[in-house]
Amino acid sequence: MAYTPPSPDSVNFNFTGIYTPPAGDDVDILFGTIPQVTVLNVSRTTIYDASVQPGFNTTTIKWTSDVLGPYQIEVGGEEATEGYVVASGTAIPGITMENLIDDADIEAVTSFSGTGTYEFNIYVKSSDNIWNSTDR
């Protein structure tokens, strides 16, 4: 199916012959909206007193998106849907989203190995069915 860009954009090229991409070439050409996610704040709350309660440990992530769409916060993985989902919902453009991630959610990740550093990836899918990516 041919791509016709919206006005006033245009595509003007002619290709003849055979194209063989070089080994290792990893080029993604996406036509559509790629969501932009901005992390505003990440904070950690740890309250622990074994004599009172086992503990309350959470990570708070505040972020915004420039598009409306479903979101997922994942631990691990390289792209959307490859990691372990610890939070999901609908992103609203320009509104500060706040997610509380409990330690129990992190401990449920198959790659969890105890004390260490764990990376959260925030993904939002645009109306063009494109997830933002950690490498863009």
Give domain status of residue 53, yes or no. Answer: yes
- The winner for highest mean pLDDT among 24-33, 50-59, 86-95, 124-133 is 86-95
Which CATH number is 115's domain given? 2.60.40
DSSP, res 50: T
Give domain status of residue 2, yes or no. Answer: no
Q: Can you read off the two tokens belonging to residue 38?
A: 């901005």
Tell me the average pLDDT across 40-56.
Answer: 61
Q: How many independent structural domains does the chain possess?
A: 1
Tell me: the pLDDT tens digits for 9-45?
666 656 566 666 556 556 555 566 778 888 888 877 6
